[in-house]
Structure 1
Amino acid sequence: MSIARLFIEDANQDPKRARMEIQPVLGFSNEDKIGTILPHDDALVVSLKIRGYDVKRVMVDQGSGVEIMYLDLYKGLNLKLEDLMPYSFPLVSFDGKVVISKGQIRLPVQTGPEIIEIDFIVVDVYSPYTEIIAKPWLHTLGAVSSTLHQKVKYPCEGQVKEILGDQSVARQCLVAVIRHKPEVESSAHAEKDL
């Protein structure tokens, strides 16, 4: 029996199933690379609207399991530390160090007409990014991201919408990381204290 015939038979039995919506296909092609500087190994860095503010230098990291907001942005959004809820799970930074969070807060993130409430873990460590958006946001939005194509694609009102990455900003962030000198005690000074 053909698939089309099965669909017709099922539709005759259950009228709700007859109204099947066609979902847009999320994917990337060579055309999506137009305008991208190739070859590259740039991070995917975008701008988003968070709590009504346009926020730049947002890194999209599809490997992370939590959204991270750095303290400078948190304060820049006019939020107070007493607004945070406790968050007691340890986080591991890119360099393998354990980071203790300041807490957690739920904030609206707007993507086109969609507004999604996202839980951010607030940390007070150096980063050239203002925040890291991760799998929870991507999954809630139904989005897919591609560092190669420097885009995030998501379904919206029966269409595929895009958020474009900014390679120039991604490269500026990389340079900032390379130039950053962490505050580390010299070994000679540490030995004197012993």
Structure 2
Amino acid sequence: MPVDGAPQGVINVIDGIVEPERVCELRGTIKRAEHMHEVQSVQPTIKKRRTKAKTVITFSDRGLARVYSPHNDALVITLHVNNLDIKRILIGQESSCKIIYYETFKQLKLEDKDLAPATSPLVGFNSMPKWLVGKIILLVKIGSVTRQVEFWVLKVLSSYNIILGRD
């Protein structure tokens, strides 16, 4: 499905489950979960290889007009996916996976039959394994760049529609 042209619709927000007063409480839980994930994960040996050129997204000082520094705010963007603009996409600096939540997946008018099987759980949420519904490759456009991105589909509640991890 082409991603050029005007979007056919917009996916805004999935209701969140985190109240603002619980953020500090959850921060410690998240840190413990990240630590447990790091301790329990097995990392393959990384072979040195040639790095390919990556597209870099930059921001000017104009974008900081209403931001109080220093800050640790999350970077939340909008992407064009399957002819829809999807809002509330978190850029996760400490994550290496790309997650699309099941409710967002369904709003893209996709079906379970479009998914490839996923055979391993995702660890990192509450340090409990979460089984993936499957995985899917979607065309994603940001600015003038269009790429195929493999997403893991996860069926849990989230304040975000997608989480994009580092490459």
- Most deviating of 112-121 and 31-40: 31-40
Pairs aligned (count) = 113
Whether 2:72 is the aligned partner of 1:35: answer no
Question: How much has 1:111 moved relative to structure 2?
Answer: 1.1
After superposition, the C-alpha distances for 1:74-99 in whole angstroms (9 at most, x for unaligned) are 00000001110011122113422211
- The one of the two structures with greater contact order (alpha-carbon pairs below 8 A, sep at least 6) is 2
After superposition, the C-alpha distances for 1:79-131 in whole angstroms (9 at most, x for unaligned) are 00111001112211342221100000000000112110000000100101001
Structure 2, unpaired ranges of 5+: 1-54
Question: How much has 1:36 moved relative to structure 2?
Answer: 3.8
Question: How much has 1:67 moved relative to structure 2?
Answer: 0.2
Distance 1:123 1:28 in 2: 30
Distance 2:144 2:56 in 1: 19
Residue in structure 2 matched with residue 63 of structure 1 by the alignment: 94
SS of the equivalent of 1:54 reads: strand
Where does structure 1 differ by over 2 angstroms across 4 or more consecutive aligned residues? 24-29, 31-34
Compute the TM-score of the two structures, normalised by the length of structure 1.
0.53
Determine which structure has the larger helix proportion and give its number: 1
Residue 152 of structure 2, aligned match among 83, 103, 121: 121
Q: From the CA coordinates, give the structure whose radius of gyration is larger.
A: 1
SS of the equivalent of 2:113 reads: helix
Distance 2:106 2:57 in 1: 36
Equivalences for 1:79-90 in 2 at 5 Å? 79-90=110-121
Taking only the aligned residue pairs, the percentage that are identical comes to 33
